[in-house]
Structure 1
Amino acid sequence: MNFRKISIAVLFLTSTGAVMYAQETKSDTVKSEKKIDGVVIQGTTRKGAESNIIGLQKKSVEVIERVGSVQLEKQGVGDASVAVTKATGSQKQEGSGQIFIRGLGDRNNSTTINGLQVPSNDPLYKNIDLSIIKTDMIDFIGLEKVYNPRLWGDMSGANVDIVTKVYTGKPYFKVNLGSSVNFNAVQKNNYFLQDGPNYFGSTILKKPSKNAIVNQGYAFKTSWRNEEVNNPFNSALSFDFGTNFKVGDQGKFSIFGYAGFDNNYEYFKGVTGGAYDGQDNALRLYTDAEEFKYSTNTTGLINLNYKINPKHNINLSSNYIHTTEQRLGNYSGYNRDYYDNDVNQERYVTQLRRATYRTNDLLVNQLRGEHTVSEPLKISWNLGYNRLDSRRPDRQQNVTVLDKQTNTSFFASSNPGANNRYFDRLLENDFTGDVHADYKIGEAKITLGYSGRYKESEFKATQYNFRILPAQGTYTVNPNNYDAFFNLANYQAGGFFDIVTFRGDIKYDPNTALIPQLFTSEVNNHAGYLNVDYKFTEKLTVQAGVRYDKLMQKLTYNTAIQQGARDKDYNKILPAVNVKYSINDQHNLRLAASKTYTSPLLLEITPYQYEEVDETIQGSQSNYLADNYNVDLKWEWFPKKNELISLTAFGKHIQNPLAKITINSASNLTSVVNVGDTGRVFGLEAEVRKDIYDSGKTRFYTFLNGTYLNTKMELDGEKVRRENAGVGESQYTTDFLKSSDKLQGASEFLANVNLGVEQKWGNKNLMDFVVSYSYISDNIYSIGFQSRGNMVDKAFSTLDATLKFKLGNGMGFSFTGRNLLNPTFTRFQDNTVTGQELVSKRYKRGAGVGASISYEF
């Protein structure tokens, strides 16, 4: 069942905790027992049901927020990234899988599956792209914005925990078939993708072997041509099943399985790449840009659960996710790096073609168990092995200059890297585990545990640059047929182009030229933690604990920028306190305080340069951890079992905050550095989960959430220069416009408003209609420097709708509308001297509609 979210952002402060707690899976049930006068009443409580999630939040000592599968299904939410944005204070950065929580971006958050960390599927980010995780295979998503010692200390925004389904209900098998269209894509007369990848994303593209390059030179298997696609309609097919059977007198063995494939076509047209100097002159600006995007997701999950008896349980799960993404972009405008003789494009126009194919293969294996050794002692353990294989095979780039006077084109030959093919691969083996014991003594529960992680990463990249040999004006080239110029015959002729890498010419020194840019990393993380829950009275419960994190990283690198090694070793003591005071049966007050830390990402501490169309990113080995001090105060009101109203005030003090900046360079490079000594976040969150009208058969309901953020961080150019200077350091400098600014990535206001109607009739027939509007205010994409202002993402809003029918005979139908307002996304550079807002990026994602049919038996 893939359904999507629905939100409405207004100036209403609300929190997604309620939303997250209210979402649960209808098909998954869990046994519950209640003893009354010696009689045991057995029933089934839906683990993902709204009332169950809110009930758990009400009783928990810790501040927990969960989004259950039932609510996700109502909203038509198909993946975990959209589910998380339903939580209070959460936002997804447009154009990426990056999630911001409470104004803090990807590096400040962490992601776990069933409590264990998992690697990112993209070296540019710390966390896995949640959009690749399908909601059909999860029970709920937990959002832990308040730290406790059982969590890894590397978080300041939140930990997102994805809990996969463990099936214990009646046996079933379900098939779901769906289709949808994006109007931008379907209305495009000629839809193009690059040569090579196929419809299912199963094609494996590899870079040419060393022998082929040495002996043949031009040895590429795919062409430069664009392939036209007929019928860019999205499709989805999935099935899931659950069954269980008894083993002996007390045992029960259950199986849950999921498998699915879906694809998605998108098309963007607008402006991109805008970068300017302090006098508002364009350094790069593609005023006529279009981008074709095609993505696939193939997912399989098997979850085996063996309940040996009421005291012992073992679970084994294996999840394989294969995703691909193709992006074919054609960008027309001005770029001084390729041709700087005609800024106003009166005669000459730069034309850039970029085709990118990206594949990810992620395997997540987990084995866990729970054992009640005696009445007061319970031992829980969890072991995991993850393997990631992420590739960008055969990224192609071509740059030509159009002479409008003669209507002919020639290569931007002054830059050998203008025309290139790029191949990279990230391999990660990740071993992780946790074991802890809970021991009850009177009114106290003591938890003692150990967590460990070992992750090895290897990244290799090779870019083949095509150095143009003829002088400009002596030839012309057809931008629709690059193969007529780049081919084996022309290479062997020797007068057209040479192939070089960042290390040299493959003709004259192939052994050196073909050494890839590479870096490797070994991370060892060991932690011990102690936590004590003590119930002082019926109303007051206090949880206090501490965690010791030992973090060690060995980094080696050999790139076009620098060669070297760096060992990083940190010891962190992380205390945490959670206090819950139950005013009465309906009202709770909570207070939490903790210390955590934030580590820079792998690519943020590696001197490696990655070039996108609209920016070039470069790491700094001089970066180090930031420390965070967090405090939360929360009031909760539970009017009914499935209703929640809450208000939270929170604050964070950050030492040595990390942020994205533009460094002093001729190429307008961006990087992430420790920008100042301190930063802070103050915020207010509110949420409402309420039935407006309920007659038993008909129910009108709403779930709202909103967040206000006030952020600030110091900007100290002298600190950046000092900490990045010296032998083996990055040597980065920057000249900030201000001594302080808002936190990079933080919006001042976020809100979601969801309105729904549920109608029941006949024999288990159900109709659900949900409309949702979301709002995100302006936020800083990167900090400005010199007289160039901040890059800012403008506020925008989205509107979705889902209509779903579930019939008693097992049939189901759903109809969805996505991004119905189709707002314009705009990123601009603010110039504080001239007062101009200079466009960096502007486009519309396109509205879409879809329908699906399912049958469960």
Structure 2
Amino acid sequence: MKTVRKKVLFIVTLLSLLSTQLMAENIKGIIRDKSSKEPLTGATVQIVGTNIGVIADLDGNYNLAGLKNGTYNLEIKYVSYKTIQIRNIKVSGSTPTVLNFEMEPESQVLGDVTVVARKNLEGEKALLQERQKATLAIENMGAKEMSLKGVSSVADGVKKITGVSLASAGQLIVRGLGDRYSTTTLNGLPIASPNPDNKLIPLDIFPTSTVKNITVSKVYEAGAFADYSGAHVDIGTRENTGEDFFSISINAGGKINTLFKDFYSSDRKGSLFSTGNLNKSLLTMNKSEFEDSYVKNNDPFGTNFSISKNTSLPVIGGSLGVGKSWKLNNGQRLSLLASVGISNDSQILKDAYVTTLTAQGTNLNEFSYDKYTSELKMAGLASVGYTFRKADRINYTLFYARNAVDNYMRREGYDSEGVNLIGSNSVFHAYTLLNNQLLGHHEFGKQWDLNWSASYGETGSDEPDRRQVMFRKDDAGALSLFKLNKQETMRYYGELDEKEVVGDLRLNYKFGESNKIKVGGTYKDKDRDFTSARFYYNLNAINPTITDIYDTDGYLNQSNLANGTISITRDFQPKYTYYAGSEIAAAFAEAEYYPIQSLLVSLGVRYEHSTQWVRYWDDASNEKRSELNTDDFFPALNMKYNFNPANSLRLSASRTVTRPSFIEMAPFLYKESYGSSEIRGNENLKNGYNYNIDLRYEFFPQNSSDMFSITGYYKKLESPIERVQESSGGSAVHSFRNADNGMAAGVEIEIRKEIIKNLRFGINGSYMYTDVKLPEGEGIYTDSQRQLQGASPYLINADLSYTPSFGEERRMSLAMMYNVQGPRIHSVGIYNLGNVEQQALHTFDFVGNYEFNKHFSAKVQLKDLLNSTVRFKQDVPSTGKVIEVESFKPGTSAEIGFTYKF
């Protein structure tokens, strides 16, 4: 009996173990787009007739675990792709069943669909589908394409979009229209710029480690603020739409003309991570107390004028990313994503050259210079999403970015008096951004949905300690301090703080099969404070022996301040401060209607009540206030006609506005940076208005990622705001006027084509014609009619990529990118001199990436392999000559990086 019991117990135990082993078997694999081979994150794999299923992760991987031995029927689904059904899949034995799927897009563009899983809009294919379905003509770039092409920031990304270029100081030029004609949003909400001279936030402040995609719309829709005629650039931040993940990447490299070379930098409080602003008490204390007492007993700045020499080492950067989701009760889901990225860079510009000409073509002054730049970029993103009911969601996003640039420049030459000079200049500038966003989406039945959002942002622009020392060099080469007017040795302090609050509410009603009515309202409130001060050193009492301009500690020191040999004059006048603000209250209504199945008509109108003001002090220290208040209606028409699922024609027409910036509408003298020309605003400025027409043909071949588009556009600019120059005491002062009228027209072409399997080619090009007419008798311009400043007549981007796979997990991508920007006006000619024109610039980049497995990958990146010289030339009408007035070489950079995903 005992023997029988033992046998039964043994059999039961064996069956239990065997059953457990059989239950552990699974079906796994990767789901990709058939043409582009991109992983389809969020695709679902389900066992037919059951509720057993999984969702593909960020890399397209799925794993059906815990299946018993047997035969199963599978169904694979993904939004806008053909459903795959596969029958009689046998699961048996100890080896997992591996099934990889390649999905084809639907032959027809889908209308509205409701899904529980959110679509991943980082891949190129998904974004092309969004572009094809969009009501507006848009262009976009996702995180995967940016990685393939070695794009490190949003600035690099938008440069690769048709008709877009970047000018000096990072200003965005779209279709020949400058910074004032475009707008930037973060997840659809406006975002302020910390730069007082630019309307747009510096786009290089957004590293691609935190970006999901970039969408550029060059046509207007009533749901957006109306202050753009060039482009609306929307930066979408990453969010967790797939499986849990943790990734880490590190990269190292540098510019070839910089690595291991002598590198000069100025003394700085702390590091690039800290700003070290001036103590505000130095500005609020009595002037005589500061100059006669404080500086003799205290070091007011904590830095000196000496320059240190080091060796430029490779720069190192990296990023961390983590995503986690929790499935809660009743189908609710909580997701978290956090990402942080940091990078630094160093650059040396050697033997650069700049000169200023007279109307006769002779050199008024001439300097050669060496420039040494250190830059730190860091950004952090945190996103928390909560999904409930079926498709409702609330998302909170926190974004922080810091971009710090430290420049040292040594320049040598002669001024307008023929004096040989050497200048030692240090400039540190820090831009910061902190933005909080809360967004909600709610659906009520199949017809109604509500979207709401709110944001609070703070931006800062700080120049905590700009320094300059000028030296005179005699014919024998001996150096002495240059003391012409006590302003040659100086410090500058500047601080800008801006706060912006935005609230948006919009309601959508769907009727018929695809028709919609949208109504909504938006409120935006922005406040800015700006303060600057100058500190001039009186050096008349010292005559040191100077053998090295970098070593100034022997005479520019606290001891000479304490004994009164050196004195400091604080120049902190009311005119160096201003306060500004703006409010916009807007409402819009828009209808999307299909009179026939192939024709979409979107018609909308927006009303904006705008109030803008600047509180400032004039040259006589009298307080003033400048205001510009308007009420406007902005209509917008967007039509799309589908000849068939692959071919469509779009027509857009709209009216938009261009408002003056704060510093442009206040008539006080303001200097952008030391050595630059002075600016005086104009309290009589009014808004400019723009009338825009676009016509675009698009071709998206079915079952492929190829595309072709051609666009023609025309813009009439009514009373455009133009920078002019006026004579003031024999020198030129920049100001602003409303010109009579202007226009911009052009043609854009974009092609993406798969040549053979895994080998893809892309090219886009633009031809632009711009023209502006200045009022008679305004300014001292050589030409009263010219092309727009910063506008290139042609732009071309081309790329070639090869993306083969080796087995299930090993993949390689190689990409080459070429860009050319045509010649453009850098600065406008005055006093019978022609325009300064930047010559055509060619760049060529290479990026290689290899994924060893689903965890580990490596990347090699080479930028600006041509190392082209940036040249500026100026026409001299009196002699018929064209003379080079500035040139420098940015340098080729190389970088290697590694990424590990857990």
- Give the TM-score normalised by the residue count of structure 2: 0.84
User: Is it true that 1:375 corresponds to 2:449 in the alignment?
Assistant: no
Q: Is the 8 A contact 1:675 1:714 kept in 2?
A: no
Matching residue of 2:49: none
Higher relative contact order (CA 8 A, sep 6+): 1
Q: Give the counterpart of 1:615 among 671, 676, 690.
A: 676
Q: Give the counterpart of 2:199 among 122, 126, 129.
A: 126
Secondary structure of the residue that 2:664 maps to in structure 1?
Answer: coil
Secondary structure of the residue that 2:450 maps to in structure 1?
Answer: strand
Structure 1 residue 377, shift from structure 2 partner: 1.2
Deviations 1:684-714, CA, capped at 9 Å, x for gaps: 00000110111xxxx1001110000011110
Matching residue of 1:645: 708
Secondary structure of the residue that 2:665 maps to in structure 1?
Answer: coil
Cα distance in structure 1, aligned partners of 2:315 and 2:776: 48
Secondary structure of the residue that 1:663 maps to in structure 2?
Answer: strand
Cα distance in structure 1, aligned partners of 2:696 and 2:706: 16
Deviations 1:783-803, CA, capped at 9 Å, x for gaps: 222211112111111000000
User: Is it true that 1:628 corresponds to 2:680 in the alignment?
Assistant: no
Q: Give the counterpart of 1:217 among 292, 295, 303.
A: 295
User: Is it true that 1:226 corresponds to 2:226 in the alignment?
Assistant: no
Cα distance in structure 2, aligned partners of 1:778 and 1:610: 27
Larger radius of gyration between Structure 1 and Structure 2 = 2
Matching residue of 1:430: 500
Cα distance in structure 1, aligned partners of 2:471 and 2:738: 38
Map 1:359-398; keep pairs closer than 5 Å. 359-398=430-469
User: Is it true that 1:689 corresponds to 2:737 in the alignment?
Assistant: no
Cα distance in structure 2, aligned partners of 1:762 and 1:24: 18
Matching residue of 1:483: 553
Cα distance in structure 1, aligned partners of 2:117 and 2:351: 56
Structure 1 residue 539, shift from structure 2 partner: 0.7
Structure 1 residue 417, shift from structure 2 partner: 2.0
Amino acid at match of 2:590: N
Matching residue of 1:193: 265
User: Is it true that 1:236 corresponds to 2:335 in the alignment?
Assistant: no
Cα distance in structure 2, aligned partners of 1:552 and 1:160: 24
Q: Give the counterpart of 1:843 among 888, 891, 900.
A: 888
Cα distance in structure 2, aligned partners of 1:550 and 1:247: 44
Deviations 1:238-292, CA, capped at 9 Å, x for gaps: 1111121112122111111101221100111234442222122333321x20110
RMSD over aligned Cα atoms: 2.6
Cα distance in structure 2, aligned partners of 1:185 and 1:36: 52
Amino acid at match of 1:608: L
Map 1:159-308; keep pairs closer than 5 Å. 159-188=232-261, 190-202=262-274, 204-207=276-279, 209-210=281-282, 213-214=290-291, 215-217=293-295, 219-286=300-367, 288-308=368-388
Cα distance in structure 1, aligned partners of 2:81 and 2:144: 28
Map 1:453-472; keep pairs closer than 5 Å. 453-470=524-541
User: Is it true that 1:104 corresponds to 2:177 in the alignment?
Assistant: yes
Equivalent residue pairs, number? 792
Structure 1 residue 351, shift from structure 2 partner: 1.1
Amino acid at match of 1:228: K
Q: Which runs of 5+ in 2 are unaligned?
A: 1-37, 42-56, 62-76, 86-113
Cα distance in structure 1, aligned partners of 2:120 and 2:539: 65
Matching residue of 1:572: 632
Deviations 1:631-671, CA, capped at 9 Å, x for gaps: 00000001244111000000100012223344324575453
CA pair 389-282 structure 1, distance change in 2 beyond 3 A: same
Matching residue of 1:310: 390
Structure 1 residue 236, shift from structure 2 partner: 0.5
Amino acid at match of 2:883: L
Q: Is the 8 A contact 2:246 2:901 kept in 1?
A: yes
- Give the TM-score normalised by the residue count of structure 1: 0.88
Deviations 1:438-484, CA, capped at 9 Å, x for gaps: 1123253111111111011000001101233249x897685233333
Cα distance in structure 1, aligned partners of 2:82 and 2:343: 49
Q: Give the counterpart of 1:498 among 567, 575, 586.
A: 567
Moved more, 606-615 or 781-790: 606-615
Q: Give the counterpart of 1:820 among 857, 865, 889.
A: 865
User: Is it true that 1:737 corresponds to 2:782 in the alignment?
Assistant: yes
Q: Is the 8 A contact 2:870 2:889 kept in 1?
A: yes
CA pair 453-740 structure 1, distance change in 2 beyond 3 A: same
Cα distance in structure 1, aligned partners of 2:811 and 2:730: 58
Cα distance in structure 1, aligned partners of 2:887 and 2:488: 24
Amino acid at match of 1:202: S
Amino acid at match of 2:199: K
Structure 1 residue 32, shift from structure 2 partner: 5.1
Matching residue of 1:659: 722
CA pair 541-502 structure 1, distance change in 2 beyond 3 A: same
Amino acid at match of 1:54: L
Amino acid at match of 1:414: L
Map 1:577-588; keep pairs closer than 5 Å. 577-588=637-648
Q: Is the 8 A contact 2:593 2:600 kept in 1?
A: yes
Amino acid at match of 1:585: P
Cα distance in structure 1, aligned partners of 2:171 and 2:82: 49
Secondary structure of the residue that 1:220 maps to in structure 2?
Answer: coil
CA pair 35-684 structure 1, distance change in 2 beyond 3 A: closer
Structure 1 residue 29, shift from structure 2 partner: 8.5
Q: Is the 8 A contact 1:778 1:792 kept in 2?
A: yes
Structure 1 residue 63, shift from structure 2 partner: 1.0
Structure 1 residue 199, shift from structure 2 partner: 4.8
Cα distance in structure 2, aligned partners of 1:849 and 1:614: 33
Cα distance in structure 2, aligned partners of 1:378 and 1:681: 39
Secondary structure of the residue that 1:484 maps to in structure 2?
Answer: coil
CA pair 113-208 structure 1, distance change in 2 beyond 3 A: closer
Secondary structure of the residue that 1:853 maps to in structure 2?
Answer: strand
Moved more, 647-656 or 618-627: 618-627
Q: Give the counterpart of 2:650 among 571, 590, 594.
A: 590
CA pair 361-803 structure 1, distance change in 2 beyond 3 A: same
User: Is it true that 1:328 corresponds to 2:388 in the alignment?
Assistant: no
Cα distance in structure 1, aligned partners of 2:701 and 2:80: 23
User: Is it true that 1:604 corresponds to 2:664 in the alignment?
Assistant: yes
Q: Is the 8 A contact 1:273 1:614 kept in 2?
A: no
Structure 1 residue 600, shift from structure 2 partner: 2.3
Secondary structure of the residue that 1:771 maps to in structure 2?
Answer: strand
CA pair 788-391 structure 1, distance change in 2 beyond 3 A: same
Secondary structure of the residue that 1:418 maps to in structure 2?
Answer: coil
Q: Give the counterpart of 1:779 among 797, 815, 824.
A: 824
Give structure 1 regions of 4+ aligned residues with deviation exceeding 6 angstroms. Answer: 22-26, 28-31, 34-37, 39-44, 473-477
Structure 1 residue 41, shift from structure 2 partner: 10
Cα distance in structure 2, aligned partners of 1:527 and 1:44: 30
CA pair 707-41 structure 1, distance change in 2 beyond 3 A: closer
Amino acid at match of 1:841: E
Secondary structure of the residue that 1:483 maps to in structure 2?
Answer: coil
Deviations 1:348-401, CA, capped at 9 Å, x for gaps: 411111101112221010001011123211110110000112210010011121
Deviations 1:405-448, CA, capped at 9 Å, x for gaps: 1x322233222222111111101111012111111232531111
Q: Is the 8 A contact 1:57 1:65 kept in 2?
A: yes
Secondary structure of the residue that 1:521 maps to in structure 2?
Answer: strand
User: Is it true that 1:525 corresponds to 2:600 in the alignment?
Assistant: no
User: Is it true that 1:404 corresponds to 2:475 in the alignment?
Assistant: yes
Deviations 1:716-749, CA, capped at 9 Å, x for gaps: 242x3xxxxxxxxxxxxx2222231111111000
Cα distance in structure 2, aligned partners of 1:805 and 1:598: 46
User: Is it true that 1:157 corresponds to 2:230 in the alignment?
Assistant: yes
